[in-house]
Amino acid sequence: MQNLFITFLIISFVYCPKPSASLGEGTLAGGWKPIPNVTDATVVDIGKFAVDEHNKNDHANLKFVNVVKGESQVVAGMNYNLTVTAADGGVEYSYVALVWDKPWEKFRQLVSFKGPV
């Protein structure tokens, strides 16, 4: 019986579609895709969120300026890897933020915030 189960598993892996099947517009599940419009309201909101969360977590006082560039990744929701500009004491620096977003659950989490870079 155990041999039958193992044989079934092997056949399933060989003949089932790959988990990275295309999701349309050339995007692969799990692959990073450049964000063409970093001035989109959602992207800007996520950039502001990243700076605000960093300020709360690290007791910093950065002021969000803009999103310079970014990539998105389809996961259980969406990951956003953004390069943002923020001012520290009037001087602008670039930072890299990774944010996990699940808007249907009203969930957003700052995964990492690095910089200045």
In angstroms, the CA 64 to CA 108 distance is 17
Of 15 and 43, more confident: 43
Residue range 49-67: mean pLDDT, rounded: 99
Of 63 and 20, more confident: 63
pLDDT digits (tens, 9 = 90+) for 67-107: 999 999 999 999 999 999 999 999 999 999 999 999 999 99
Residue range 41-51: mean pLDDT, rounded: 99
Tokens found for residue 99: 């944010």
In angstroms, the CA 43 to CA 40 distance is 5
